[in-house]
């Protein structure tokens, strides 16, 4: 079943945010996704960011820079976003395994050019940013106060099929 995308956005304005920052290895001893919930981004040090704050708690979308999710193959990184209701990440680029893990879980890892990320981050500084995702039309609509911006995004047919199927297990099980 397809997940819900879009919602309130939080900006993590840095490149190379790694999987240890998203979910430290000491929590990899958990064997359920739900158990990871309190530890999202616990080790991320970023000016103005509080992993226990309301902004993160209410976020449904993360906006970041280059090479998001680099490091470990741990799928606990997408899972900890998933169990916190964040199904959409928008970044300039991703580490391969993290990106694949997102789509394998039926979640969206959207790539936008630097200029678009710059604009989204500038927009977020004017007020609470909301992002609406139109998967079929491959469009993002970003709203903060009166300011509305729209972006087209690319998604491969395979990634789209994974999102529509609800993930890779569903897709592969039906086909192989």
Q: Is 13 in the site for another protein (CB under 8 A)?
A: no
Q: How far is the CB of 114 from another protein (least distance, A)?
A: 14
Q: How far is the CB of 107 from another protein (least distance, A)?
A: 11
Looking at the Cβ atoms of 98 and 151, the one nearer to another protein is 98
The interface with another protein within residues 97-156 (CB under 8 A) comprises: 97, 100-101, 104-105, 156
What contacts 24+ positions apart, CB below 8 Å, involve 114-121?
A: 116/151, 117/63, 117/64, 117/65, 117/90, 117/91, 117/92, 119/149, 120/9, 120/11, 120/63, 120/90, 120/149, 120/151, 121/11, 121/13, 121/63
Which residue(s) pair with 70 in the sheet?
Answer: 18
Looking at the Cβ atoms of 20 and 134, the one nearer to another protein is 20
Looking at the Cβ atoms of 105 and 120, the one nearer to another protein is 105
Q: Is 40 in the site for another protein (CB under 8 A)?
A: no
Q: How far is the CB of 101 from another protein (least distance, A)?
A: 4
Residue 39 is given by DSSP the state G
The interface with another protein within residues 149-168 (CB under 8 A) comprises: 156-158, 161, 167-168
Interface with another protein (CB under 8 A), residue from 84, 88, 93, 123: 93
Looking at the Cβ atoms of 83 and 149, the one nearer to another protein is 83
How many whole angstroms separate alpha carbon 91 and alpha carbon 68?
A: 7
Looking at the Cβ atoms of 24 and 149, the one nearer to another protein is 24
Q: 172 in helix, strand or coil?
A: helix
- The continuous run of DSSP H or E covering 62 comes out as strand 61-64
Stretch that binds another protein, among 17-25, 52-60, 83-91, 112-120 (CB under 8 A): 17-25
- The continuous run of DSSP H or E covering 104 comes out as helix 96-104
Residue pair 30/85 in contact (Cβ under 8 Å)? The answer is: no
């Amino acid at each position: 079943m397809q997940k819900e995308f879009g919602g309130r956005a939080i900006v993590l304005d840095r490149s190379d945010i790694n999987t240890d920052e998203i979910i430290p290895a000491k929590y990899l001893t958990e064997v359920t996704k739900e158990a990871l919930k309190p530890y999202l981004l616990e080790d991320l040090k970023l000016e103005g960011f509080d992993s226990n704050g309301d902004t993160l708690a209410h976020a449904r979308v993360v906006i970041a820079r280059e090479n998001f999710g680099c490091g470990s193959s741990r799928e606990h990184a997408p899972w900890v976003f998933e169990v916190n209701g964040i199904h959409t990440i928008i970044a300039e680029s991703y580490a391969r395994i993290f990106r694949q893990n997102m789509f394998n879980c039926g979640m969206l890892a959207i790539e936008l050019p630097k200029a678009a990320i710059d604009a989204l981050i500038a927009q977020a500084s004017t007020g609470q940013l909301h992002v609406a995702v139109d998967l079929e039309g491959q469009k993002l609509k970003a709203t903060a106060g009166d300011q509305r911006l729209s972006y087209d995004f690319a998604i491969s047919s395979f990634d789209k099929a994974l999102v529509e199927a609800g993930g890779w297990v569903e897709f592969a099980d039906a086909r192989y």
